[in-house]
Amino acid sequence: MGRIVVISTGGTIASRWQGSGFAADADGSEVMATAPLPEGVAVEVVDLFSVNSPRLTTAHQLTLLRTVHEVLADPEVDGIVVTHGTDTLEESAFLVDLHHHDPRTVVFTGSQLPMGTADGDGPENLYDALLTAASTRGLGVLITFAGRVHAARGTVKTQAVALDAFADPSKELLGKIGFGKVTMLRTPRRPAPLALPAMPELPPRVDMVMHHADGDPVLLNAAVEAGARGIVLIGTGAGNATPEIVEAVRAAVARGVLVALTTRVAAGPVTEIYTHGGAVDLVAAGAVPTGTLRAGQARIAVLSALLASGEEGERARVLRQALSSDGPVLVDA
């Protein structure tokens, strides 16, 4: 079926007992040894790093992004699987998807149970990821987990410990895996890919601030004063806050801070319905609504926009492009 490169980054799928808890310490070859290979698939392993995914930095994620592009520079490679911790998998997968310009599939997977666990989910997830990478094209970056296929865009971790850990709460399932076959149920829509960013000496700071009852602008203003070049405001409902936070957003935007507006609600789009501090006013103050993308992926979109351009108006344009899901799917020529 093809030559697949597995990029190993750590996570639970590479974790072992450390005396007081589990942590990633296995290399990619050890992870691969736990899983059977689909018939006709040949695997090469790239050991990029081995860390618990909450410890990932922007530098880690940009290194992963560049490694994916370097691997795909080889025309003999048929696809990529990235093994990754589940805590920040949705962020890394979306970053790679935003910049993915190749019809060959990149599949992220991991596990909820450590390696070596009886009835652990890592081997099956890895097998499914290899099968998906070898048998699909033109779908961008995917996440396979618990026999399901998800588009990177919009997919988040919805279960802290259950094995079926990922879903896009705002869309129907993308595909299923079973009996050695990948069945796609729909085609994801993706905007035109962004150019590969340079590796900055110091990545731009992008913070997230959540609104709640009694919420005030203190944390948002503190982020600006700490040097944030981007902020994701996590509103209530369809993307709402207060008049005081609207004024803080307006002031931040005037200082050149790129502000994105999402919601703490699990499903549905940010929508301009309410005033008196609601999304109507926040968007008028300069916040960019993120549609159905939630906080972690909205932050990645802001990061990519900041890395793409130093010009304020261009950064906002790139952010809107990254947030759009109306573009065509790349297809195999």
Q: Which residues are designated catalytic?
A: 12
Q: Find all residues with CB under 8 Å of 90, minimum gap 6, and list them.
A: 143, 152, 155, 156, 157, 166, 296, 297
The tokens of 319 are what?
């952010």
Closest C-alpha among 174, 89, 91 to residue 139 = 174
Residue 45: which of 71, 63, 73 has the closest Cα?
Answer: 71
Alpha-carbon distance 57 to 3, whole Å?
29
CB 253 within 8 Å of CB 225 = no
Q: What is the largest CA-CA distance in the chain?
A: 60
Q: Give CA angle at 82 (77, 84), nearest 5°.
A: 170
Q: Report d(CA 325, CA 68) in Å as an integer.
A: 22
Residue 143 φ/ψ, nearest 5 degrees: -125, 125
Question: Which residue intervals of 73-121 are DSSP H helices?
Answer: 89-98
Q: Bridge partners of 259?
A: 231
Q: Which H helix or E strand runs over 251? A: helix 243-254
Q: Which residues of 173-198 are buried (b: 16+ CB within 10 A; e: fewer)?
A: ebbebeeeebebeeebebbebbeebe
Query: How far are the Cα atoms of 73, 157, 204, 261, 268 from residue 231, in angstroms, in the given order?
Result: 34, 21, 11, 9, 21
Give Cα separations from 163 to 187, 235, 296 (angstroms).
25, 29, 21
